[in-house]
Structure 1
Amino acid sequence: MSIKVTSVSKYYKTQKALDDVSFSAVKGEIIGFLGPNGAGKSTLMKILTGFIRPTNGAVFVSNIDVLSNPIEAKKNIGYLPEHNPLYKEMYVREYLQFQAAIFKVDKSEIENCLIKVGLQTEAHKKIHQLSKGYQQRVGLAAAIIHNPEVLILDEPTTGLDPNQLIEIRALIRELGKEKTVLFSTHIMQEVEAICSRVIIIKKGEILIDKNLGELKEKNHQNIEVTFDYRIEEQFIRRLPNVVSYKNNYDTTWFITFDSKQDMRPIIFDFAQENGLKILGLNRHNKNLETLFTELTK
């Protein structure tokens, strides 16, 4: 088990930042760690990296107890914080040599690391001369130079242009094949593009911990239908598999069904049987952003 968090709580005086949080992760998983501001994401990341201690609970990285043996655990962790702490006056290769010395890594690994993150042509430049995307690559290179089993990335794509986003996404996906990646972000599209699993946290509690495929395969479907005249809600209740409904505007209804079957033909037949005409019929898939909003608003 690459990560194991058991019943972790954290208090800052009387404020509860984490409330009995538990989850585990294995090699090859890229986990999207989501939550609104103040949800407890950064606190949990700091606990995982041994920067702060929890009030209660246990944390293991690569089967090493982070609380009792933090130095040994950190050897198996690569961390890229939200504000990439680079020494920008240093050359790229010089900075990675410095990082390699800290972890007592053989200097031959530096070239391998440069190739892995696509920095070979930029290695002779000073870090401040690089674009934001390449500076993120330097941060990733520093995080993986000691070949950690666990990679923790806090908002790694913030501020990147579309081309840089595509490049960093591809790099993270490649790293995720051989490591466990915990990926914190506010950008739902990033999670859908990169992650295999989603954890949503709010007010220090985990609300959802599921594979992305499971979330996408939920039976609920949302259909917006407009009839030729206003009907009473008792007609809507007669439709099969209705979970909820709302009269959005006069003759338009927004209906949620619990069914894998496409309910649009059912609605069409229902309208014909009841002498109604359908002026509009649209299916709205519930994406991750919608789910996140519903859970955290």
Structure 2
Amino acid sequence: MIEVEHLSKRFGDRYAVDDLSFSVAPGEVLGFLGPNGAGKSTTMKMITGFLTPDGGTARIMGHDIQQAPVAAKRTFGYLPEGAPGYSDMTVAQFLRFIADIRGLSGAQREARIDAVVADIHLNDVLGQRLETLSKGFRRRVGLAQAILHDPQVLILDEPTDGLDPNQKHEVRKLIQGMAKDKIIVVSTHILEEVEAVCSRAMIISHGKILADDTPATLAAKTASGRLDDYFREITAGGLS
């Protein structure tokens, strides 16, 4: 599982993440929610080893991200903000490069690339350089590299950012299809996305957890029965 213990990060005199602890078990899809500046992306960067915490740690499938970073990183796929890539590579070249560094080879390598290209509908842009792609296609390529090695854990930061409604629907279906045998964390500001794909919702603000339950249970705490109303009220300090 993912185990986060007393994770903290300061920027100047401000805590972006403040003594955060939680765990995510196999089969769970955790929606990680919060207003801008809540600490969502900072938390994900620390869990995945791209940012060193000031305190605490995270373990992924039993591997401490600080003490055993290579072993930990083998277990997960990560889609960060912006989905950076090598702009002068074509999509096909980039996916082959990712397959190589993930240790895929031979028939397995080709089969995984073919499967991911089909699942994320990248056939039409395989020959294009990443720098020429639209924001939506760059996001889709970023998702492709995250799932290419069929990891046990997926950590996705705004996976549908820049996608049109049809593409969002396709990505949500893909996440739902992978959920039964993976651990998935999805950071998003789209509450309908949480309701569509997540079995659990965690809301943070100022680096602290405000709520952690199923989306339906949280929504039921408001008179309207809507998750977006609960989110607005709790992040404004109106609900306990």
What is the TM-score with the length of structure 1 in the denominator?
Answer: 0.72
Which whole-Å CA distance do the structure 1 matches of 2:174 and 2:165 have between them? 14
Instruction: Tell me, in whole angstroms, the C-alpha distance in 1 between the residues paired with 2:12 and 2:134.
Output: 41
Match of 1:77 in 2: 76
How far residue 69 of structure 1 moved from its aligned partner, in angstroms, is: 0.8
Identity %: 46
Moved more, 133-142 or 118-127: 118-127
Where does 1:11-30 land on structure 2 (aligned, <5 Å)? 11-30=10-29
- What SS is found at the alignment partner of 2:213? strand
Cα distance in 2 for partners of 1:28, 1:133 equals 28
| Aligned counterpart in structure 2 of residue 203 of structure 1, from 203, 206, 229 | 206
Q: Residue 215 of structure 1 corresponds to which residue in structure 2?
A: 218
Secondary structure of the residue aligned to 1:177 is helix
Structure that is richer in helix per residue: 2
Answer yes or no: is the 8 Å Cα contact 2:89–2:129 preserved in 1.
yes
How far apart are residue 138 of structure 1 and its match?
1.4
Separation in structure 2 between the aligned mates of residue 130 and residue 178 of structure 1, nearest angstrom: 32
Counterpart of 1:172 in structure 2 is 175
Matched position secondary structure for 1:27: coil
Q: Tell me, what secondary structure is at the counterpart of 2:8?
A: strand
User: What's the RMSD between the two structures over aligned residues?
Assistant: 2.0
Give the structure 2 partner of residue 45 of structure 1. 44
Distance 1:79 1:178 in 2: 17
**8 Å CA contact 1:92, 1:127 repeated in 2:** yes
Change (3 A) 1:137 1:175: farther
Helix, strand or coil at the partner of 2:180:
coil
Gaps of 5+ in 2: none
Larger radius of gyration: 1
Question: What is the TM-score normalised by the length of structure 2?
Answer: 0.88
Residue equivalent to 1:102: 101
Report the more deviating stretch, 111-120 or 135-144: 111-120
SS of the residue corresponding to residue 83 of structure 1 reads coil
Contact 1:75 1:146 in 2 (8 A): no
2:231 aligned with 1:292: yes
Displacement of 1:74 in angstroms is 0.9
Q: Cα distance, 1:102 vs. partner? A: 1.6
State the 4+ residue runs in structure 1 displaced beyond 4 angstroms.
Answer: 128-131
Q: Following TM superposition, by how much is the alpha carbon of 1:19 offset from its aligned partner in structure 2, in angstroms?
A: 1.6
C-alpha change, 1:121 and 1:162, in structure 2 (3 Å) is: same
* 8 Å Cα contact 2:219-2:230 kept in structure 1: no
In the alignment, the residues of structure 2 paired with residue 120 and residue 88 of structure 1 have an alpha-carbon distance, to the nearest angstrom, of: 18
Structure 1 CA distance, aligned partners of 2:57 and 2:91?
A: 37
Contact 2:91–2:129 under 8 Å retained in 1? yes
Return the letter of the residue paired with 1:72.
A
- Contact 1:196/1:213 (<8 A) preserved: no
- Total equivalences in the alignment: 232
